[in-house]
Amino acid sequence: MKQGLMVRVRTLNDLLTCSSLAAGDRKRSLEENGLHAYYAYPALALFSISTAEADLWSRRFAVEELYAVIKRHGPSNTAVLPDDKGHVGVIFSWDDRESITELYNSICNEEHSFNPQLISLGISNPYLHLSDLHHGYEQALLAMQHRFYQNHSQPIYYNSMSEYASDAEYPQEVEDELLYLLTSDSITESRATRQAVNRFYEALTRNGSLPVKKIVDATLQLLVSLQLRIKSALGQPHLCRTPNITALMQLHTLDELKDAVCDAIKGMGGTSHASDTLNRGLIKKAVTLMEEEYDRVSLHYVAEKVFLTPAYLSSLFKSEMGVTFIEHLTRIRISNAKKLLKHTHLKNYEVAKRVGYHDSRYFSQIFKKKVGLSPSGFRDAN
């Protein structure tokens, strides 16, 4: 075995994101971890479970239970690994794809187990080599997210999806219509509200389905904009009920999102003591972006995504989180750097670049200040 090639595989991402591993080395890495390693046209299935609970521990428990069930029911000629985003991946041979459907049915039908409506399964295209399977990971993620446009749960193959539209124009005219309904008291007419919300999403997807993230971002923009405009129009900011954006972002289908948006919009004219709900939702959205794109985000980038000015986001972040934006981003980057130093053989400058520092010397200074050891010292200690 060549020294310096093996990666200690704990997650699917450990296996797939290390570009230095060729197909044969990936097979050996799987074998080293006691996992099935030989596939004819390998493909990837990604399972996910949606939970009503928003807290991290409930989510983690549900994923661990899902992982255990998949290990128990999964065919012996597969490799089962969690990823670092709360999904469970199954590497399988394309000719055995029916066994993945049978596995999905077993999970959904097991007594005292999961609600089938909460299980999503995305399946990638097949590849010639394990070394190409990182493309399959992205495909399986997209396939799994496509369930958003369906009203029932079923396995979704990437090759069965139509292409997403590249972009869409924000339906400003529908936002204006909803503002009129709010300020003219016509918002109590449920039919008018629903029709306007339907038109909003129809206009948004007139060129085809959009990636779920873009639908979520447009929904957030609609609610934030209406919230600010209704406060300004009524001149009574304390009387405008704030929508629970965190709950909206956890919905599973477009129809569920439409229902919740209708309720949120109709509630904007009422009263509420929870005037900070919107702010908490925006900060949670900002933190999620930081955790998912820590290698490239900046204050201006995140502010644009949550439809706030950088100055306002900076002030709001400090107020809600107790630390500055850059302090929290540094924590995230250093945490991920520690994982890479501990579990891969990437050089220090490669680790620095992976977590968003293009100056390796500055990265070393920040790392030592936060951890108490240099990157090399931390690697040696682990």
Instruction: For residue 110, report the phi and psi dihedrals to the nearest 5 degrees.
Output: -65, 135
Task: Kindly state the tokens that stand for 35.
Answer: 């996992």
Entry pTM = 0.58
Rounded to the nearest 5 degrees, what angle is found at the Cα of 286, between the Cα atoms of 282 and 290?
A: 170
Class of domain 12-160: alpha beta
User: Mind giving me the DSSP string for 145-166?
Assistant: HGGGG-SS--EEEGGGSPPPPS
Query: What number of other Cβ atoms are within 10 A of residue 100's Cβ?
Result: 22
Please report, in tens digits, the pLDDT of each residue of the chain (382 residues total).
Answer: 344 444 567 888 888 875 555 557 788 888 888 889 899 999 999 998 876 555 556 677 888 888 998 998 889 999 999 998 889 999 999 999 999 999 998 887 765 456 666 788 999 999 998 888 989 999 999 898 888 887 666 799 999 888 888 888 999 999 988 887 876 655 456 788 899 999 999 999 998 888 888 898 889 889 888 877 776 655 544 444 555 666 666 677 888 899 888 888 877 754 343 335 556 777 888 999 999 999 999 999 998 887 777 877 888 898 889 999 999 999 999 999 999 999 988 999 999 999 999 999 999 999 999 999 999 999 988 7
Instruction: For residue 93, report the phi and psi dihedrals to the nearest 5 degrees.
Output: -85, 140
Query: Domain 278-382 is classified in which CATH homologous superfamily?
Result: Homeodomain-like (1.10.10.60)
Query: Rounded to an integer, what is the distance from CA 111 to the centroid of its chain?
Result: 29
Q: Which tens digit of pLDDT belongs to each residue from 15-71?
A: 887 555 555 778 888 888 888 989 999 999 999 887 655 555 667 788 888 899 899
d(CA 357, CA 378): 18
Would you kindly state where each structural domain of the chain is located, as residue ranges?
12-160, 162-275, 278-382
